[in-house]
Structures are given as structure tokens and as C-alpha cells.
């Protein structure tokens, strides 16, 4: 549970998110229109709302799987050391894979996960991220499909949490502290 009082200022509306996902799916469909062996892999837990909207907009024959990697814990700083807490249920060798991430921040999580999945021999591996904080990057990577570039702010909502709270907000908002602990 967060220990300091805070408010959430809306940054990206639910309507803007929906419009942007529609565009992203247009590009993703173009990339994968030739395949019937696509697995969409959601990174838990932050991507669960994004992936739900993304796959319903995608209109391709897909399978869905999930992988959970450790990242922020309950704080606001990336741990940098990435551990796999829950692995995929299925094999991806010879399959096409789209990894779906909520936010690319330092880049360590996506780098670790894509290196791991590449070692399993997928036919093609692409990445989609709803949000990107390019100024925070420590690993040189960029998702193949990105929703919005945002400034270095701590954000919540649309699946994304602050100490496990606020995942159920329909929009993306930034956390603004209003007092001391
Ligand atoms: P990275 O490994 O530093 O790129 O961190 C990626 C993960 O950190 C994301 O999947 C999120 O779970 C978490 N994260 C990064 N920025 C934020 C934020 O602003 N709010 C909440 N979680 C975040």
C-alpha cells in the first residue's frame, strides 16, 4: 500500500488510448497478416488491460499466453535485476511471437524477456508497448510498436499500478504527491 498521500492527474484519456490502439493494430496486422501461428505474450501484471483491448482489435488468428517478470516491486524505482516469476505455458519454437508490455522504462525488463524468448527459437519476435519513457532508457532498445512516448513521470491506470493500486482506472494518470508520509 502506498504510504504517502497522492492524487492522480489524467495524462492520457480512455478515448485517446482506444484511438491509438486502433492505429497500432493496423500496423501489427500488416506485420503478421501472413501468419496463422501468432502467439501474443502479455507481460504480467501491468499489460493485462492493454492486451485485452489489443487482441480484440487485432482480428487475426492468435493464441494468448502470459509471462510474469519482476520489476518495481512496491516502489517507484526499477530493480534492474529481472527475474521470471511465471513462465509461458506453451512452447514458442517456430512460432511468431508478439510480446506486449505496459511501459518501457529503463528497458531492462523487455531486454531480458526478449533475450530469453529469442533463445527458444521463435520464427519471428516483435514487441509492442503502450507507453515509452525514452529519457529513462539504460538499455538501447525500442519496441517495434509503441503507443505513446511520455515524459519521466510515474504513471498509473489502465492496468498499471502504484504499489498494486490504481490498475482499474480507465485512463493513464500521473501520480502527484500531496503531503509527507
Ligand atoms: P523497465 O525494466 O525499467 O523498463 O521497467 C518496466 C516495468 O516497470 C514496467 O513493465 C512497469 O511494470 C514498471 N514501470 C515503469 N514505469 C512505471 C510507472 O511509471 N508506473 C508504474 N510502473 C512502472
CA–centroid distance, residue 34 to ligand 1 (Å): 32
Active-site residue, selected from the candidate residues 53, 102, 105, 161: 105
SS3 content of the chain, % helix, strand, coil (to 5): 25, 35, 45
pLDDT of residue 180: 74
User: In the chain, what are the domains?
Assistant: 13-153 (3.40.50.2020)
> Is 105 an annotated catalytic residue?
yes
Average pLDDT, the chain: 94
Question: What pTM does this model have?
Answer: 0.95
Please give the Cα distance from 1 to 163 (Å, whole number). 6
Residue 69 region by backbone torsions, left for phi larger than 0, else alpha for psi between -120 and 50, else beta = beta
Segments of the chain scoring below 70 in pLDDT? 71-75, 77-79, 181
Q: Can you give the pLDDT at residue 80?
A: 75
The tens digit of pLDDT for each residue in 115-128 reads 999 999 999 999 99
pLDDT tens-digit profile of 66-98? 999 986 556 676 667 889 999 999 999 999 999
Amino acid at each position: 500500500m502506498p504510504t504517502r498521500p497522492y492524487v492522480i492527474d489524467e495524462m492520457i484519456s480512455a478515448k485517446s488510448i482506444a484511438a491509438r490502439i486502433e492505429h497500432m493494430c493496423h500496423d501489427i496486422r500488416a506485420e503478421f497478416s501472413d501468419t496463422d501461428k501468432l502467439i501474443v505474450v502479455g507481460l504480467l501484471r501491468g499489460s493485462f488491460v492493454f492486451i485485452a483491448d489489443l487482441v480484440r482489435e487485432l482480428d487475426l488468428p492468435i493464441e494468448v499466453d502470459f509471462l510474469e517478470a519482476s520489476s518495481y516491486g512496491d516502489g517507484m524505482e526499477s530493480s534492474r535485476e529481472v527475474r521470471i516469476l511465471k513462465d509461458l505455458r506453451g512452447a514458442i519454437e517456430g512460432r511468431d511471437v508478439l510480446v506486449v508490455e505496459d511501459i518501457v522504462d529503463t528497458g531492462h525488463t523487455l531486454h531480458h524477456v526478449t533475450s530469453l524468448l529469442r533463445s527458444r527459437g521463435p520464427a519471428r519476435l516483435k514487441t509492442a508497448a503502450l507507453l515509452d519513457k525514452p529519457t529513462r532508457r539504460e538499455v538501447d532498445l525500442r519496441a517495434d510498436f509503441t503507443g505513446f512516448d511520455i515524459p519521466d513521470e510515474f504513471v498509473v491506470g489502465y492496468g498499471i499500478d502504484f504499489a498494486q493500486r490504481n490498475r482499474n482506472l480507465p485512463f493513464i494518470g500521473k501520480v502527484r504527491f500531496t503531503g509527507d508520509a
